[in-house]
Structure 1
Amino acid sequence: LEQIEKVPLAPLAADLLSALTDDRRHQKLFDEFTRVVGRFLNDEQALATMREKIREELPSLFNLFRADAYLLKKIVASAGSLLDEVRADPDHPMRAEFDRFALGFIERLRTSKQYARRAEKLKRDFLGRPEVRALAGDAWASLRLFIEQDVNAPRSTIREHLANMFVEAGKHLAADAQIRADMNQGFVVALASFVESQKSGVSTFIADQVKRWDLAQLTRLIETNIGKDLQYIRFNGMIIGGLAGLALYTAERLFLVN
């Protein structure tokens, strides 16, 4: 929760909503909203509740000749007809109005200091509730217990999913040369940057390790492990050097005689 508290909520919400508006996916939510409202308007119990509210708010006018029921039916019929028109027409003016509302709200979330303050207050109030903190602690404990039990099980679900994921990733890499080239280039850039930033530290580490070596012990280890090979190399070098010298001497004498 401490890490969540550090994340600015308003820009994050703006980015999420902006992604939702790609390809007009927010219009699908609008369609679903109109369906929910339509079902509500066709619910007799909901209409009865609305009629009671009308009687309470305007008793003298709408109780006359049971006008409340008549007007409510007319309002419901008109609203239902309007919602049907909106769902059937992709270019309906209400859709354009919803577009303007959604894009304007996203922009205010991204730029408005007032919206940012409200979002941060909402986040603090939500995360500060004891039940939320208790739920987060229980969820983390349950997740950790599940992972520990699963990875130690003979047939681990996590291991199986990871294995399948890596196999699929390998297939995609094998089939797409462009992805391989992009990944190779990315690794080269990342490694070059890492080496550049760490080369002084690596040099210091190697120098410190060399300073700690016991030269006498190191010499004994070399003689013990590869001493015979060194003697063989020295012996062969002596023979080859002698033969080379003899060949040069012979060539020189022949040149002088001629």
Structure 2
Amino acid sequence: MPDRARTMRRIATGLLVLMATVFLVAHRYQGLHPAVGYVMAFAEAAMVGALADWFAVTALFRRPLGLPIPHTAIIPTNKDRIADTMAAFLRAHFLTPQVVARRMGQMNVARAAGDFLANPDRRGTLGVRAGAAELLAEVLESLDPERMGEQVRAGLKAQADRLEVSPLIGQVLQAAIADRKHLPLIDAAIRWAGITLEANEPMVRAMIHERANALLRWTGLDERLANSVLDGLYRLLAEMLVDPDHPVRGKVQEGLEKLAHDLVHDPAMRARVEGIKHEILNSPAVGAWWQGVWERLRRHLIDTARRPDGVLAGQLGGAIAELGQALQNDPRLQWQINRFVRRSTVGIANRYGDQLVRLVSETVKRWDAVTITERVESAVGRDLQFIRINGTIVGGLVGLAIHAIDLGLR
């Protein structure tokens, strides 16, 4: 029992002892003055009221003086019935769909959440942000990296398997050609070809020398042939680069347009592209590459989340603040969220109300008699001691009134 309840019990008991002492003193000196009779009557009735209320209060929790008096120790003796009654009361008056809906209808849960989240200076909001970042870090650390990476890869692969990439590539290529955005790519390819040819010029000359016959090599014409071939290639690439209407560029343009058309409309081309896609997705090399990418991404996310003022924490904070502002300022969003919360809560009360009250009932039933007595007495014990004090005072006043009436009737 808490100290305050224990103090009130001592006061009530002390008041009873005081009334008994007053009664004994008044009884001894009752002939000294007529007023002593009033004092004795007050003290006598006060003792009766105090003892009656002490018995009533004590009988709730235990047997008075340990005597097996019927209808005492009411709470420990009837704890199972009390548990069932409490559960039935909760079910009938608090967990009905009508009560829950009426109560939830008076609450703007979305607005309250928005007020909480929109203020970035609140310690609670900072705690939400830090907690979310720490939770993300702990989840990423607790997962098996290889297994998680494989699951992510399998999920991406399943999505890619369902996506036919050939028409998508063809449509992107058609749009690029229509907007002439492919021209810089052609120019880049021509420059790359020129740089590659220049870097591999010795290999080209060696190939021409090897394929020339002995007469050309003996006369030295193979070197002139190699020079002519290389010069012709350099000249062709230069002309293609500076002349937008060069015939070779036109052939490249036609080839790209046909490729874009076939990617969208040619079943054979689409099947070949899908086959290449499946080969790439199922390649062990791609799997190993993805595992490395995933591990680097995972470690980066963990390190970023663990930094309180890092980018991820700031992004989480900004996202939380934006969500709070949206909940504050968007009545339609508030209405939708409040309706969802209300329907969900009513559904929980309707579907799981019996299980909730059964949990209350079974929990109370599992308590032993001493536990339930202590918990109830600790909750209401102080008020019950006031009953004893009030009973003492009221009893004394009633005794005083009866004594006065008795003297008046004589």
Which range, TM-score by smaller chain? 0.5 to 0.7
The answer to whether the 8 A contact 2:166-2:264 is kept is: yes
Q: How does 1:99-178 map to 2 (within 5 A)?
A: 99-160=253-314
- Please give the alpha-carbon distance, in whole angstroms, between the structure 1 residues aligned to 2:345 and 2:237: 73
Q: Is it true that 1:81 corresponds to 2:227 in the alignment?
A: no
What is the Cα deviation at residue 105 of structure 1? 0.5
Bigger drift between 89-98 and 100-109 goes to 89-98
Q: 1:53 to 1:119 in 2, by over 3 A?
A: same
Match of 1:30 among 161, 164, 186: 186
Bigger drift between 129-138 and 203-212 goes to 203-212
Q: 2:244 — aligned with what?
A: 90
The answer to whether the 8 A contact 1:27-1:95 is kept is: no
SS at match of 2:166: helix
Uncovered stretches (5+) of structure 1, i.e. residues with no partner: 170-183, 189-193, 215-258
- Please give the alpha-carbon distance, in whole angstroms, between the structure 2 residues aligned to 1:55 and 1:77: 16
Q: 1:18 to 1:155 in 2, by over 3 A?
A: farther
The answer to whether the 8 A contact 1:10-1:116 is kept is: yes
The answer to whether the 8 A contact 1:9-1:119 is kept is: yes
- Please give the alpha-carbon distance, in whole angstroms, between the structure 1 residues aligned to 2:176 and 2:164: 19
Q: 1:12 — aligned with what?
A: 168
- Please give the alpha-carbon distance, in whole angstroms, between the structure 2 residues aligned to 1:131 and 1:211: 51
Q: 1:138 to 1:82 in 2, by over 3 A?
A: closer
Q: Is it true that 1:72 corresponds to 2:231 in the alignment?
A: no
- Please give the alpha-carbon distance, in whole angstroms, between the structure 1 residues aligned to 2:174 and 2:318: 32
Residue 222 of structure 2 aligns with an amino acid whose one-letter code is D
What is the Cα deviation at residue 109 of structure 1? 1.2
What is the Cα deviation at residue 85 of structure 1? 2.0
What is the Cα deviation at residue 49 of structure 1? 1.4
What is the Cα deviation at residue 64 of structure 1? 4.5
The answer to whether the 8 A contact 1:54-1:62 is kept is: no
Bigger drift between 91-100 and 69-78 goes to 91-100
1:80-118 deviation digits (Å, cap 9, x = unpaired): 222222222223333332221111101111122212222
The structure with higher relative contact order (CA 8 Å, sep 6+) is 2
Q: 1:166 to 1:53 in 2, by over 3 A?
A: farther
TM score, norm. by length of structure 1? 0.57
- Please give the alpha-carbon distance, in whole angstroms, between the structure 1 residues aligned to 2:347 and 2:309: 48
SS at match of 2:308: coil
Q: Is it true that 1:52 corresponds to 2:214 in the alignment?
A: no
Q: CA RMSD in A?
A: 4.0
SS at match of 1:24: coil
- Please give the alpha-carbon distance, in whole angstroms, between the structure 2 residues aligned to 1:203 and 1:165: 26
Q: 1:132 to 1:42 in 2, by over 3 A?
A: closer
Q: 1:204 to 1:145 in 2, by over 3 A?
A: closer
Q: 1:207 to 1:157 in 2, by over 3 A?
A: closer
- Please give the alpha-carbon distance, in whole angstroms, between the structure 1 residues aligned to 2:346 and 2:268: 55
- Please give the alpha-carbon distance, in whole angstroms, between the structure 2 residues aligned to 1:36 and 1:211: 69
Uncovered stretches (5+) of structure 2, i.e. residues with no partner: 1-152, 323-329, 355-410
Q: 1:161 to 1:83 in 2, by over 3 A?
A: farther
The answer to whether the 8 A contact 2:212-2:222 is kept is: no
Residue 59 of structure 1 aligns with an amino acid whose one-letter code is N
TM score, norm. by length of structure 2? 0.38
Q: 1:91 to 1:62 in 2, by over 3 A?
A: same
Q: 1:69 to 1:125 in 2, by over 3 A?
A: same
Q: 1:130 to 1:77 in 2, by over 3 A?
A: same
Residue 189 of structure 2 aligns with an amino acid whose one-letter code is F
Larger radius of gyration: 2
- Please give the alpha-carbon distance, in whole angstroms, between the structure 1 residues aligned to 2:351 and 2:206: 92
What is the Cα deviation at residue 33 of structure 1? 1.7
The answer to whether the 8 A contact 2:305-2:312 is kept is: yes
Q: 1:131 to 1:73 in 2, by over 3 A?
A: same
